[in-house]
A and B are shown apart, each in its own frame.
Chain A
Amino acid sequence: MTPAISVAGLGRRYRDHQALADVTFDIGTPSVTGLVGRNGAGKTTLMRILAGQEFTTSGRVHVFGSTPLENDAVLRRMLLVREDQAYLDLRVRHAVRAASLVYPNWDAGLADTLLDAYELPQARPIKKLSRGMRTALGITVGLAARAELTLFDEPYAGLDAVARTLFYDQLLADYTAHPRCIVLSTHLIDEAAELLDRVLVLDRGRLVLDAATDDLRGTATTVTGPSHSVQRFVAGRTTLSLHTMGGQARAVMAGRLDERDRELAGHLHLRLEGLTLQQLAVHAAEHHDAPGHHGPSARPTTAKAS
């Protein structure tokens, strides 16, 4: 099956700044993928390239089997909603109408539902919307378009917790009813963890983690307790970090635990906590040989839908 997105050796250089370097991955459809990374890691640049809005310096980008750049046949099947999305200098209803002109699967009912849920007045000029309301408008357009490939760049910017929960619920419901390929770039990976099939982590323009979320869960554990007990417990295991303070220590350990490990931890009075996706992403950025990374310590993973 042709993956929805296929990227190989992708690079983008701006004069003295390497925004992306040798990025390679495939994403199948249907799937929901999280694109994670610090500010300036290259997430938006990658999404803009996927949407044909930016140019590559090197490498190959295919979307639905063809290059997206100036390719109407590909572009009309996708949509990128950006954090700093620019709209027509008109009213909310005009932005919604504009999207409905372009996308054949546009769901006007869903758009109305979302506008009501986010309390977005259709007659309000877009330039008078708050940041959160602009974000909500982007979510409305992004979901109601039902594009075969939907790219959301930081879709929660300016949204409060209630609105974010609404977004997750709507995304999940709509994705379940209409499976397609969705890519979210986000800082709040744990909030969206239940939605994600897969996580890509970018750090300084390089892809440092590419793994299915099911494969990632439980692959690293935080061990906390008396210093000597922690050191005894992690001895001989791959340790990603170890911090000692007084008589207490905190270690992050790679590898899955079995029942005997847990019994030993109980015996040593240690507390065990699985790393969240967010913590795994941070570790992946800091230690490129973290679990799930394309390194000798972890098996390369591909999206289960690829």
Chain B
Amino acid sequence: MRTTALVTVARYLLLDRVTYVVLPWAWGAFGFAIDVVILRLTPAGDTGQRWVGGLAAVFIVVFSAGVQTVARALPFALTLGVSRRTYYLGACALALAMAACFGLVVTLGQAVERATGGWGLHMAFFRVPYVLAGPWYMSWLTATTAFALLFVYGMWHGLVYRRAGMTGTTIFGGAQLTALALAAVIATWAHGWTSIGHFFTTITVAGATGVLAILVAVMFAGGFATIRRLTV
């Protein structure tokens, strides 16, 4: 497979810059504004930092961009003679590049946030306790992995929707919840909750990023298996 083919797919997708570049950060800016308003209206507590969750909007929009990458943009790409495999790998390459850039934005945002005393409000918009609060390179790596995970997870959902419609997507979502419920039942039977709690309280940020990376690989493989027999 030629690298240029993957680049062509990425350029094809980036024709829709609103979805891939503007919307995530427009929603991020909206979340930022809401957080500023809320912090101005509510009294500051005793804690040094005031944690807010507006950054989650960017991650949610990245998930949605992953869904749209296959739900809306895939059929015309196949019309133009792009194979499923090339399209998927090109879209994943774009996801990775986008995630790295978005991770950089988060890291730069953290630097500005620290330099301005949390935007003058002690606000931690770009920082998340324990997860995105370490050195810049770790924050960048964790944010990049999280963005990539949500994009690829969104693509897998979009592919399932393309192949099996709303019914299939519902079953897919239900199956994931069932798997989680089964895992919880097994953990209960095996008296494993203490170990699980210990795992989550002792895991380092690097370890958590590693877990996210494993999930990215699982989602990537799931999406690849789903697109192989997809028809448009």
Contact = CB atoms under 8 A, between A and B. Distances in A.
Interface of A: 48, 51-55, 70-72, 75-82, 85-90, 94-95, 97-99, 101-103, 145, 147
Interface of B: 1-2, 5, 8, 11-12, 15-16, 72-73, 75-86, 229, 231-232
Given A72-B5, A72-B86, A86-B75, A98 B81 contact: no
B231 A48 contact: yes
Contacts of A147: 81
A70 B84 contact: yes
27 contacts: A48-B231, A51-B78, A51-B81, A52-B83, A53-B231, A53-B232, A55-B231, A72-B86, A75-B82, A76-B82, A79-B80, A80-B79, A82-B79, A85-B79, A87-B76, A88-B15, A88-B16, A88-B72, A88-B73, A88-B76, A89-B72, A90-B15, A97-B15, A98-B77, A102-B12, A102-B80, A102-B82
Contacts, number: 75
Contacts of B5: 72, 76
Contacts of A99: 80
Contacts of A52: 78, 83
A87 B193 CA distance: 49
A75 B83 contact: yes
Nearest to B229: A55
Contacts of A145: 80
B140 to A, nearest CB: 31
Nearest to A90: B16
A78 B81 contact: yes
Contacts of A72: 1-2, 5, 82-83, 86
Interface centre among A52, A79, A90 (most CB of B within 10 A): A90
A139 to B, nearest CB: 13
Nearest to A79: B81
A238 to B, nearest CB: 42
Nearest to A138: B79
A145 B81 CA distance: 11
Contacts of B1: 72
Nearest to A76: B81
Given A53-B231, A70-B85, A88-B73, A101 B78 contact: no
Given A72-B86, A79-B80, A86-B76, 12 more contacts: A53-B78, A53-B231, A70-B83, A76-B81, A81-B79, A86-B75, A86-B79, A86-B232, A98-B77, A102-B8, A102-B81, A145-B80
B201 to A, nearest CB: 45
A97 B12 CA distance: 8
Residue among A48, A51, A87, A98 with max Cβ neighbours from chain B (10 Å):
A98
A79 B80 CA distance: 5
Contacts of B16: 88-90, 94
Contacts of A89: 16, 72
B11 A95 contact: no
Nearest to B74: A86
- Chain A CB count within 10 A is highest, among B16, B83, B86, for B83
Nearest to B19: A89
Nearest to A99: B80
Contact of B76 (A71, A77, A98, A103): A98
A71 B15 contact: no
Nearest to A49: B231
A124 to B, nearest CB: 16
B165 to A, nearest CB: 15
A94 B16 CA distance: 8
Q: Which 9 A-B pairs have the closest CB atoms?
A: A86-B75, A75-B81, A102-B80, A70-B83, A94-B15, A76-B81, A89-B72, A72-B83, A87-B76
A146 to B, nearest CB: 12
